Structure 1
Amino acid sequence: MLSFGTDGLLRHIADSSSQLKRLRLVKCYAILDKGLSGVAAKLRLVEELDMTYSLILSKEALEAVGRCCPYLKSLKFNNEWQNYRVCDEEALAIAENLPELRLLQLIGNQLSNDGLQAILDGCPHLESLDLRQCFNVTLAGNLERRCTEQIKDLRRPHDSTNDYEYEASYELFDDDYYHGNDYEIFKA
């Protein structure tokens, strides 16, 4: 797979664009945590960051962005959902370091209810939250009530992705997959 975006290109953009307010890195699989963390300080004015279908960012990279980008209001951190990984580290990093977010799009993220709860607690200004294909989240009871009261524009885990600009698919693995049998790919 050819990936145009690299750590070197990101560094060049950051060095050349001190007034950058919007950064969109889609399918930039060669931009790594280290690359984003290394240029975060040069992205102080960024208000919108889109990391769609890139390598999964670590909590360290999200912490660096949070420390260095105080004007960040919109984060799109979308992945292709795979059911073998549940991780709330990234959600906790968002909650602890990006309190000024207004829009958060997490399509295909593996966060759980605990991660979502942390985001709701840590991001009090959040108005738009997209949880499509976040299948480890179960909106029910107090969590559902809180989401519907706090979030003006809420997209739920099983909501359609028909209006999403990229193909949104996820792989459902079961025990047969791990034993060498077929698996299915579902497209929303």
Structure 2
Amino acid sequence: MANVSQAVAPSHPPAPSEPRDWAALPQDILITVFLKLGPREIMLGAEFVCTAWRRVAVGEALLWRRIDMGIDMISVLHPATRAMARAALDRSAGQCEALWGSCDSEMLLYLVGRYASPSTEAPCLKSLHLSTFDGSQVFVAVLNKLPVLEDLEVSPLLLKCSTDNFLESVCQACPLLRKLRIRFCAVEYYYGDDWMRKEIIGTFTRMSELRSLELLSYYLTAEGLTDILDHCPVLEDLYITGCFDGIMDAELYAKCAKVKKLTLPYSSDEAEYYWDVYNEHSSDDEF
């Protein structure tokens, strides 16, 4: 049988692919990508890819509902960083729901002052996390402009906190908070031979919606603890560090038992140890 030879077609290198037109990327896909990047990555790189991307980055307020600048107190004082934070707030067009990062008094005033009149509030901001700020009365005044704020986490500088009772001032300004965390900056704690702590003093404002309260480096008395428990009827998680000075009587024990998860300083002499109490009906569900 005769062999039949088959002709083999010569191989050719693949044709080079055409350059991708990034400007033609559908806007809905581009928005999804930008949301994953976050504000800093958008402003420092992505928006400079092409004019179309820049247009979306600047004009789409949805991208700026959650602004996490991730900057420390030193960098926030730099003019370029401050300008970037202001631009992010401007791009939100009043729709910012969460703002996280470091902030000074000037930036706090800009947060609410960018609206039309001094009496205008920031209507959408629900979550405010400030990793470092000066803790002045300006901050409390700004809180009064945030009517729907639910989640507040702040780390004021203790020696620069001009408000005598910072906790009480915050609660008076935001009585509808659901979560509150106050942590005084560690660099300010130590003074001479003593550890400096904020004392819970005065009458605690009724917080009818507060579920979670964390107070780090506080001086807690039995009276202060009683005041907190009496004025937070739906409190589920209470976490306090620092030192405890007082006697836990039967009535106070009973009030503590109503809190699902409770962590308190053990005593003023043994501040490194904490007393953990878990209600038998506590749940593992996160707040």
Q: 1:38-90, CA deviations, whole angstroms, 9 ceiling, x for partnerless residues?
A: 2122111110111125344735654554344343111111234664557332x
1:74 aligns with 2:74: no
Identity of aligned residues (%): 27
Task: Return 71-80 or 52-61, whichever deviates more.
Answer: 52-61
SS of residue in 1 equivalent to 2:244: coil
Work out whether residues 46 and 72 of structure 1, in 8 Å CA contact, stay in contact via their aligned partners in 2. Answer: yes
- Quote the residue 2:43 is aligned against: none
Cα distance in 2 for partners of 1:111, 1:123 equals 16
TM-score for the superposition, normalised by structure 1: 0.66
1:110 aligns with 2:228: no
Cα distance in 2 for partners of 1:86, 1:20 equals 27
Change (3 A) 1:59 1:124: farther
Q: 1:124-167, CA deviations, whole angstroms, 9 ceiling, x for partnerless residues?
A: 11111002x331245744223421x211011232239xxxxxxx
Cα distance in 2 for partners of 1:88, 1:23 equals 22
- Quote the residue 1:88 is aligned against: 200
Q: 1:98-117, CA deviations, whole angstroms, 9 ceiling, x for partnerless residues?
A: 34311110121112111111
Cα distance in 1 for partners of 2:223, 2:109 equals 34
Coordinate RMSD, CA, aligned = 3.0
Task: Return 135-144 or 9-18, whichever deviates more.
Answer: 135-144
Instruction: Give the deviation of 1:24 after TM superposition.
Output: 0.7
Cα distance in 1 for partners of 2:216, 2:135 equals 19
- Quote the residue 2:74 is aligned against: 2
Change (3 A) 1:61 1:125: same
- Quote the residue 2:274 is aligned against: 159
- Quote the residue 2:131 is aligned against: 26
Instruction: Give the deviation of 1:27 after TM superposition.
Output: 2.2
Unmatched runs of 5 consecutive residues or more in structure 1: 161-188
Question: Which structure has the larger Rg over C-alpha atoms?
Answer: 2
Cα distance in 1 for partners of 2:169, 2:156 equals 20
Work out whether residues 40 and 64 of structure 1, in 8 Å CA contact, stay in contact via their aligned partners in 2. Answer: no
- Quote the residue 1:13 is aligned against: 111
SS of residue in 2 equivalent to 1:44: coil
Aligned length: 153
Unmatched runs of 5 consecutive residues or more in structure 2: 1-72, 77-102, 115-121, 266-272, 276-287
Cα distance in 2 for partners of 1:159, 1:134 equals 9
Work out whether residues 62 and 97 of structure 1, in 8 Å CA contact, stay in contact via their aligned partners in 2. Answer: no
Change (3 A) 1:127 1:3: farther
Q: Which has the higher contact order (CA 8 A, sep 6+)?
A: 1
- Quote the residue 1:39 is aligned against: 142
